[in-house]
Amino acid sequence: MLGRVNHIALAVPDLAEAVERYRSVLGASVTEPEALPEHGVSVVFVTLSNTKVELLEPLGADSPIAAFLAKNPAGGMHHICYEVDDILGARDSLVAAGGRVLGDGSPKIGAHGKPVLFLHPKDFFGTLIELEQV
Ligand code: CO
């Protein structure tokens, strides 16, 4: 079912500081910040040869990462995104196996313009999983 890791998303309390740290300390290639108001985050991508890391900062009043940062004020890993080639098939087999899909269970258009679903972190050992159709 799972393809490649599409991205790993880290929630950070201060995006500018995180960008500076990744650039200056890790020598990373980091994109310019992008506001995604419909997703409640501002984001940059740390571009790597095999995948990308997203640094996410809350944007707006009801950001989906606000509660996470309230619990983890220094920031932390928010989710990992795996690619799937059949998101509805993946969902149906997960649900048949007793897994829980967040929201109403239908894929939404994610931050990269492709259909995504999120799986309940309690079903996967504490890690929020995003599935992205490729
Ligand atoms: Co994501």
pLDDT digits (tens, 9 = 90+) for 10-29: 999 999 999 999 999 999 99
- Domains: count for the chain: 1
pTM equals: 0.93
130 is catalytic: yes
The residue segments making up the domain with residue 60 are: 2-133
Residue 61's pLDDT is 85
What span, in angstroms and rounded, lies between the C-alpha atoms of 18 and 23? 9
- 7 C-alpha vs ligand 1 centroid, how far in Å? 7
Q: Which of 19, 11, 18, 14 is nearest to 63 (CA)?
A: 11
In the chain, the percentage of residues whose pLDDT exceeds 70 is 100
CATH of the domain at 77: 3.10.180.10
Q: What is the pLDDT of residues 55-79, one digit of tens each?
A: 999 999 899 999 999 999 999 999 9
* CA of 50 relative to ligand 1 center, distance in Å: 16
CB 21 within 8 A of CB 100: no
Question: Above pLDDT 90, what percent of the chain?
Answer: 93
Residues less than 5 Å from ion ligand 1, measured at CB:
9, 81, 130
Please give the distance, rounded to the nearest whole angstrom, from the Cα atom of residue 110 to the centre of ligand 1.
7
In sequence order, what are the residues at sequence separation of 6 or more whose Cβ sits closer than 8 angstroms to the Cβ of residue 106?
none
